[in-house]
Amino acid sequence: MKHRLSFGYFTLLAENIVEVTIDEGIELSLEMVEECDVFFKAHIFGGFGMLINRINEYTYSYEAQLSIGSYEGLKAIAFVYYSDKSKVIVDELNLIRAYDKWNSCTFSGLELEWQQAFQWLKHELLIGSEQTASIG
């Protein structure tokens, strides 16, 4: 199911995987990150993964860089990029947020790795749920 936010589309690919596609030319702001949080709280229950589809070129404000991905229940992030510039932005974001120890992986959309990104997320979420079950 596809949902329109003020700056892009959020598509529920599975009950616990959301594909995020930000509009071309956007600078993602702290307010937009908060809009994401509202969406996740309304539509996702429990652990989830995000597939960030960077088909469009966009950037993050400094405040957004520091807070994006700090969503309750977020277990894994797959970034799919389509240009060298987009890959650099993802790499910089991962570096800035290194202290958070994100469970993330980067995939090349030009190499047709979108499906691999989706499979990786499913695998990471399955592992996470198995670990939680064995602890409880």
In the block, residue with structure tokens 């949080």: 37
Q: What is the pLDDT along the chain (136 residues), one digit of tens a residue?
A: 899 999 999 999 999 999 999 999 999 999 999 999 999 999 998 999 999 999 999 999 999 998 888 898 999 999 999 999 999 999 999 888 888 888 999 999 998 899 999 999 999 998 766 554 444 4
Domain map (residue ranges) of the chain:
2-135
- Using DSSP's 3-state secondary structure scheme, residue 71 falls into coil
Please provide the DSSP assignment of 46-61 as one string.
SSEEEEEEE-S--EE-
Closest by CA position to 113, among listed 105, 104, 125, 123: 105
In the block, residue with structure tokens 């960030």: 52
Looking at domain 2-135, does it have CATH number 3.30.750?
yes
